[in-house]
A and B are shown apart, each in its own frame.
Chain A
Amino acid sequence: MSEVLSRAGDYMPVLLEGVWITIAVTVLSLLLSTVLGLFWAILGWTKIRAFQIISRTFITLIRGIPIIVQLFYIYFVMPDIGINLTAFQAGVIGMGIAYSAYQAENFRAGIEAIDRGQIEAAQSIGMSDSMIMWRVILPQAFRIALPPYGNTMIMMLKDSSLVSTITVTELTRQGQLVAASTFDNMTVFTLVALMYLVMALPLTYLARQLEKRYKKS
């Protein structure tokens, strides 16, 4: 037993390096997906037909393609058209774009939940469309979108492991590398699993709190 623990101790520093990359990928792609998702949702909300079509097409496209394939596309195909990204950049951008489709759906649901009457009231006091968006719709849409947003964070944390397939040395990939050189699959992947769990637990708690708080009102 103590032997297992001491081996685990040996692997820790390398795996922790992976943890930081995992956190970085998750946080950055979460931000990107949020901004992009909001953008698609607002684009779809405008009365301009062309914008609506662009938004809907993009979302349908992204949701229909596996995330791994999207990552491969960005990392392996983009260089052919002159866009060279590091694995880390490609990972963040790929995850951000892939998840923006889900974020957009989430925000869209929030936006559509706002009663038409409020929008008319805002119009009737002379507010412009963009002001209605920022002052009336979004503050309420965010509240509605928050509980599912908590779950999206957990999904993104776990799915960040997908960027290991394009050589980003985050937690899963570090685990693979350590396991491959030590043949100690049992210890390494148990550690990896535990580390994901430790990262996910606070998020799970947060998601549950959000759900409780905003389901009531």
Chain B
Amino acid sequence: MIEVSDIHKSYGQVEVIRGISFNVNPGEVVCIIGPSGSGKSTILRCLNGLETYQQGDIHIDGRRVDPEDRSIKDIRLRVSMVFQRFNLFPHRTALENVMEGPIYVMGIDPHEARERATNYLEKVGLADKLDSYPANLSGGQQQRVAIARALAMQPEAILFDEPTSALDPELVGDVLEVMRQLADEGMTMVVVTHEMGFAREVADRVLFLEGGVIVEQGPAKDVLSNPQEARTQSFLRRVLRPLV
């Protein structure tokens, strides 16, 4: 479904993505892990055209992702994104945030859109917060609204960029639970995360990024429990140490 081949990207003189290739099949959950600055967000943002890339190709359902082209809208309808900082529209209620895309981008009848938005907000456990403004929601609730907003576009895949990193520890669980449920229902997901437990349990595959390249990739259990590369081993030692 998502095919990434030999992507390179530079900011000015600095090459931050240095030849990345991977595929994501329908229904697969792929987690991207790696140290800060390794290019995780950048590659994810390339997937739905929030960043340009200078070399290589990204195809979604066979169509090339080109942020400058009109086709990007169609690609974004297939691939939604959930951000670290939620990025809800603060002047709109939870319900309005979720209805925005269906009404104004997909052109769906407002009544139908309201029904659809309500359903997705119920699905993420926020049936009682439809009319709340983001400022009056906890971080975990805001992130779940953001997930509902992505779901309401009925995408084929959802990209998550560290969806729980901005949350208080006690709120992380609710969000991960929703994501786990989506994965169980067969949603295609690419998740940048520091939650190794989530990656181990939910991901089909894990990519370990460092310095703009994929150092190691494979089934989640292999990469996380039995990494082959020294750099993966030392990264996992660093992030897992606080837990043991």
Which residues of A line the B interface, CB within 8 A? 115, 117-118, 120-128, 131, 135-136, 139-140, 143, 217
Contacts and interface: CB of A to CB of B under 8 A. Distances in A.
B50 interface: yes
B73 A140 contact: no
Contacts of A143: 91
Nearest to A139: B91
29 contacts: A117-B85, A117-B87, A118-B89, A120-B50, A120-B83, A121-B81, A121-B89, A121-B146, A122-B89, A123-B50, A124-B50, A124-B76, A124-B81, A124-B83, A124-B150, A125-B76, A125-B80, A125-B149, A125-B150, A125-B153, A126-B73, A126-B101, A126-B105, A127-B101, A128-B73, A131-B105, A139-B91, A143-B91, A217-B135
Contacts of A121: 81, 83, 87-89, 146, 149
A120 B149 CA distance: 13
A120 B153 contact: no
A123 B51 CA distance: 11
Contacts of A115: 87
A131 B88 CA distance: 16
A189 B22 CA distance: 80
B104 A131 contact: yes
B143 to A, nearest CB: 12
A136 B92 CA distance: 9
A135 B104 CA distance: 9
Interface in B91-110: 91, 100-101, 104-106
Shortest 7 CB-CB distances between A and B: which pairs?
A121-B87, A125-B101, A117-B87, A124-B81, A126-B76, A126-B105, A126-B73
A135 B153 contact: no
A135 B99 CA distance: 12
Contacts of A124: 48, 50, 76, 80-81, 83, 150
A118 B87 contact: yes
Given A123-B76, A124-B76, A126-B105, A136 B50 contact: no
Interface in B32-50: 48-50
B107 to A, nearest CB: 11
Given A115-B87, A121-B146, A128-B73, 11 more contacts: A120-B81, A121-B81, A121-B89, A124-B50, A125-B105, A125-B150, A126-B77, A126-B101, A126-B153, A135-B104, A143-B91
Contacts, number: 60
A135 B76 contact: no
A118 B81 CA distance: 12
Interface in B169-211: none
Contacts of A131: 104-105
B90 interface: yes
Interface string B143-169: 000100110010000000000000000
A168 B89 CA distance: 46
A184 B125 CA distance: 76
A123 to B, nearest CB: 6
Contacts of B74: 126
Nearest to B76: A126
B105 to A, nearest CB: 4
A128 B74 CA distance: 11
Contacts of B89: 118, 121-122, 136
A140 to B, nearest CB: 5
Contacts of B81: 120-121, 124
A140 B105 contact: no
Contacts of B101: 125-127
A150 B19 CA distance: 54
Contacts of B50: 120, 123-124
Contacts of A118: 87-90
A139 B100 CA distance: 14
A139 B96 CA distance: 14
Contacts of B135: 217
B87 A120 contact: yes
Contacts of B73: 126, 128
Nearest to B149: A125
Nearest to A123: B50
A39 B166 CA distance: 37
